[in-house]
Amino acid sequence: MDQKNIFNFGQSKIFVTMFMMVLLMACSDSGSKPKVCDAPVDTVSIINELKVDTAVYYLVHRVTGWHDKSEIIELYDRKPTFNNCAKSDIEPVFGDSLDLDSTVSHIYLNLKTKQLNIKYVAGKPGASHNTSLKLELEAE
Amino acid sequence: MGSMQQLKKTATSCLTLKADMPMSPLWNMAKAAKRNSANDLKYLQDAINFLTCKAKEKHKFSGDDKEFLKEVYEAFWWGGSYNGYKEAAQLANHYVNGTGNPKTKPLSINSGVYETSKIVIATMDAMKKYIAELAAQNKSITSFRCDNVQFRSRPYSKKLTKMNYKTEGKMKPSGVLEAAQNNIRLHRTDGHFYLQALSAIKNSGEIRTTWRIDSLYDFEPFSKQNYYTNIPLGSGTLKLPDGLSEYMTKIGVAKAFWYRAEWFENWRP
């Protein structure tokens, strides 16, 4: 197959696909549509929990973005669940984006303010470092 | 394990994941998205998992493998455009159809996506204060970036580091600006970027500033991060490892490239 024929084959394929997609859109049943998420969907996971008396705090790691991603740490005072769009059923009590040029050394929870104090050391983190972070109680 | 055994293990390592390459991924993605077709989603995911294994083991990619990956990215152009993320769609398409623009010849994109963001507006305001300060001291205002150490030492730039990561975006400790998590259009275009000001004083006493952002479109390799780009299709998601997107540049399917947004402002200090 020469270059011209390859191009024509590629073009035909695109047009056929487009035509079929128009048919698909026209035939879609809008009543049974699943919830449409913003693309791409964040990668989210509960990475640690800390029990303090009767309360349990949950540390969540979230990766968001397309080619240039951000990593976010969230704190919840109840166990969150996430839907197919990675949205939580409750609001975090604290959240912040991580500095990806430095390595997190400690994450301290201040019980009075329910804020996190994130400590860094120099150097970029390894691939799995930020998903294995632990929550620590800040000394009063 | 002997070297022959190791070689055999490497050669057969992806066979258990072997999958047919979908010939029209756009069609399968549309069916998964519009009809919530689990079969189409699995068909696509199996193909991506197989290619991910091949990339990690550095196996040879066939023509069908390469065409599939290219068409997945072309499908992102459709999806991005359809959902109003025009710039992100343009960039994804350019990744597989562009020439790999060097920094000296960047791809030009619509600056509006940056200009309207809160972190960029606040940074422009702080940088103009610094330019006015330099001009008043007869110092050069020709060019500086937002990560300039002198600029970041000024009190009016400190507030940039305290802005809300979710709703406004913020300046990170290195001086790079991070798009707000909720500003999806910008975040999908560029997660982190440097704002540059190129200024000149006009005869009228006004200052003309060219605001410029140069960024590189690339992905983190398998060796550095375990990132995934999760594409929502119906009630499921297609998990595309960023390492595979990066590996596409190694097999000639994609090219990393520089892109630029630029706008101008005449203002009086």
- Collect all residues of chain A within an 8 Å Cβ-Cβ radius of residue B225: 69, 127
Residue in chain A closest to B224 (alpha carbons) equals A127
Q: Tell me whether B191 touches chain A (CB under 8 Å).
A: yes
The reported pLDDT for the residue numbered B2 is 65
Residue in chain B closest to A41 (alpha carbons) equals B230
Distance CA B171, CA B225 (A): 23
Interface residue of B94, B188, B242, B247 to substitute, partner A, most A CBs within 10 Å:
B188
Q: Are A49 and A135 in contact (CB under 8 A)?
A: yes
A108: pLDDT strictly greater than 70: yes
Question: Which of B24, B179, B237 minimises the CB distance to A41?
Answer: B237
Residue in chain A closest to B188 (alpha carbons) equals A66
Distance CA A71, CA A128 (A): 12
Distance CA A58, CA A134 (A): 10
- Collect all residues of chain B within an 8 Å Cβ-Cβ radius of residue A70: 165, 178-179, 181, 187, 191-192
- What are the pLDDT tens digits along chain B (269 aa)? 567 677 667 667 898 888 889 999 999 999 999 899 999 999 999 999 999 999 999 999 999 999 999 999 999 888 888 888 999 999 999 999 999 999 999 999 999 999 999 999 999 999 999 999 999 999 999 999 999 999 999 999 999 999 999 999 999 999 999 999 999 999 999 999 999 999 999 999 899 999 999 999 999 999 998 999 999 999 999 999 999 999 999 999 999 999 999 999 999 99
- Mean pLDDT along residues A14-33: 51
The reported pLDDT for the residue numbered A29 is 47
Q: Are A88 and A78 in contact (CB under 8 A)?
A: no
Q: Work out how many CB contacts closer than 8 A connect A with B.
A: 120
pLDDT confidence of A2, banded at 50, 70, 90? Answer: very low
Residue in chain A closest to B226 (alpha carbons) equals A127
A34: pLDDT strictly greater than 80: no
ipTM greater than cut 0.95: no
CB contact under 8 A, B231 and A128: no
Question: Which of A37, A42, A67 minimises the CB distance to B219?
Answer: A67
Q: At residue A65, what are phi and psi to the nearest 5 degrees?
A: 115, 180
Question: Which of A119, A135, A128 is CA-nearest to residue A63?
Answer: A128
pLDDT confidence of A15, banded at 50, 70, 90? Answer: low
Distance CA B91, CA B143 (A): 27
- Collect all residues of chain B within an 8 Å Cβ-Cβ radius of residue A37: 232, 237
